[in-house]
Structure 1
């Protein structure tokens, strides 16, 4: 079992890496990191001394003064190198650099010089080093106006604002889940690579990405329809988009009921993709679920009885409660990385329709059990 520490553990990429490593407790143990360790030599040394692998992600991306970015990022690397030397560490250090290394800006310069400093440490100390040069990263929970233009577009489209394109160039992109898997692959290989260029998984014009997101807004955000998703990039972009909703105020979404003397008719879901549709009854007091998915798209539709649907993003404590009543049929969709459940809180049987975008495969279930 490898003991892995992540500087920047709570950041965009760091939190995804930390949570994904947690899915494999038989292979990896994560060593806790706090931001203030860089301000406390004793704590930093203790952290470094425990690690077989250190993934250095902590960095500043944006600041009004580029000199502040440059000095901050190099200072973090120098402190890490000093701690590695003091603890006589032979850890495998992976460093997150940027495709901006070759551009004439201080952020790119800080990344290139930081990578070179760590490579020098590894050569002198006998440690291992992988200097990963990473393209533009997007995915769920990135900060708008900070991590990615996709995060900015998603936030604006789901919060009543209009995205603006500053430069409609082609952008090489990698989904954060794909990057995390690449990092894990490098951890498992344990090889020294002073310069390792992580390949992008898609190349898109900014306007093409915005067009897709505007389509998701019209079909899904406004009308609840699952759009056509033809490529892996489309799935990743759609799952990213879904994570920017103001979930507390968006759900539950009531269905349109058509009634006549015969009874009522409700369209539960309109699909641009396939999947698996299931029906369940739940007796009073029983709870189903308490699990989360990292890629699946899922809808719970209550058509009879009273239900409490609960969601919690897995690395937070806030529980979101949604009360649904079959007298006014409604649905809640499950964002990825949110553990969720459904409980019958009524006195009669609860009838629920479940839809998920891929048939259940026990060998690749993408279902991880965790109490809400």
Structure 2
């Protein structure tokens, strides 16, 4: 299916794009602010539109009217396409709650829903509060605000209340499922949690991970929140120094400490000049620790250009934990065999490996 993704440069758009890329089932064309003027032409060549682009900050009028305008632009482009186009609308549980954002999303849903009378399938996806890696503080969610505050050594003020939180990759999966569903509306559910509980968990993560120790990762919500937290630390806090304990017998280095959940360790040997890795993950927490030899660990956030490199050596033990959504590799840059230990937070499952091949040295649009 040829899928057009609006808002691809934003938080939910990036996560949806990377999940579509990982699954490899659809041909995806992205629409950003820079290419919005080409919307009608792009829709004419598509089988479906996943409409994520939206406005959630600004004056009341800018928020409400902005969301309506974007939805109307999609509506007009679909009507002009000349063939049936499925539309998946990233709506919100705030639809119709009386706020400018809720009113704008509701009016957008009404405009898009009118396409059904013209023979187009429209799926309204009512998303709860979403959170995840690379969210912008004071913009995307309170979770992003808390994450960046805790990472900076601050403790934000909390007005506690219950909230339903859905990790952004879960939201992306529902939007993808909407491409083939027979339903006209989907209401994905998140995790019921208190705002104060989220902050307490982040403070727990900070206290543990500051020492290089992994916190309790025994539930999916803890894993998702920890991945969100550590994304805010990258690359400033890496690599993580490991403390050697040496005596007359030699040296002992503790490479991984984990307080709960699954875990799997492995090691590899790599001859000089060879590169391993060249893949990314959607949720897996993976640690590289060079035990012997010299190497460069390179990472690039998917659909971005900048490559970040860490030179590492077994003579100064350290660890680098791979952020999700970043292609990564390790290259033996020395003259001897490289020995690397790998640890992941979950057991390897051949039917769901969460490992997607992709080179680090590649431009964002390639």
TM range (shorter): over 0.9
Partner of 1:18: 17
CA distance in 2, matches of 1:21, 1:370: 14
Secondary structure, aligned partner of 2:203: helix
Structure 1 residues 315 and 159: alpha-carbon distance in aligned structure 2, compared to 1, 3 A threshold: farther
Alignment partner, residue 52 of structure 1: 47
Residues 171 and 204 of structure 1 are in contact (CA less than 8 Å); yes or no, is this contact kept in structure 2?
A: yes
Deviation track 1:21-58 (CA, whole Å, cap 9, x = no partner) reads 11233x311123232444x3xx2211110111111111
**C-alpha distance after superposition, 1:245-278 (max 9, x if no partner):** 141x311222112222222221111112331111
How far, CA to CA, are the matches of 1:11 and 1:334 in structure 2?
22
- 1:93 is aligned to 87
Aligned: 1:175 with 2:167: yes
- 2:81 and 2:251 map into 1 onto residues whose CA distance is 71
**Equivalent residue for 1:133?**
126
Equivalent residue, structure 2, for 1:102: 96
Q: Is the partner of 2:179 in helix, strand or coil?
A: helix
Structure 1 residue ranges without an equivalent (≥5): none
User: For residues 69-123 of structure 1, what are the alpha-carbon distances to aligned partners after superposition, in whole Å with 9 as ceiling and x for unaligned?
Assistant: 1111111122222222223342111112211123221110011111011111222
TM-score, with length taken from structure 1: 0.93
Q: TM-score, normalised by structure 2?
A: 0.94
Q: Please list every run of at least 4 consecutive aligned residues from structure 1 whose deviation after the TM superposition is greater than 3 angstroms.
A: none
Tell me if structure 1 keeps the 8 A contact 2:89–2:109: yes
Q: For residues 141 and 89 of structure 1, what CA distance do their matches in structure 2 show?
A: 37
> 1:337/1:54 Cα in 2 relative to 1: closer, same or farther (>3 Å)?
same
Tell whether the 8 Å contact from 2:278 to 2:359 is kept in structure 1 after alignment.
yes
Q: 1:147 aligns with which of 140, 164, 173?
A: 140
Q: Give the unaligned 5+ runs of structure 2.
A: 361-366
2:29 corresponding residue in structure 1 = 31
Query: 1:3 maps to which residue?
Result: 2
Cα displacement (A) at 1:162: 2.9
Native 8 Å contact 1:4 1:54 kept in 2: yes
What SS does structure 2 have at the residue aligned with 1:332? strand
Q: Does 1:208 align with 2:197?
A: yes
Q: Contact between 2:278 and 2:357, CA under 8 Å: does it hold in 1? A: yes
The alignment partner of 1:279 has SS state of strand
Alpha-carbon separation, structure 2, partners of 1:217 and 1:330: 19
Residues in 2 aligned to 1:136 and 1:54: alpha-carbon distance in whole angstroms: 22
Tell me how far apart the structure 2 counterparts of residues 80 and 199 of structure 1 sit (CA, whole Å).
23
Does the aligned pair in 2 maintain the 1:307–1:350 contact within 8 Å?
yes
Match of 2:226 in 1: 238
Structure 1 residue 156 and structure 2 residue 149: aligned? yes
Show the counterpart of 2:305: 317
Taking the aligned partners of 1:311 and 1:5, their CA distance within structure 2 comes to 27
What displacement does 1:185 show?
1.5
Residues 1:281 and 1:192: Cα distance change in structure 2 (over 3 Å):
closer
Residue number in structure 2 paired with 1:332: 320
Measured in 2, the distance between the counterparts of 1:359 and 1:231 equals 14
Q: Quick one: structure 1 residues 24 and 265, their matched pair in 2 at CA, closer, same or farther if it must change by over 3 Å?
A: closer
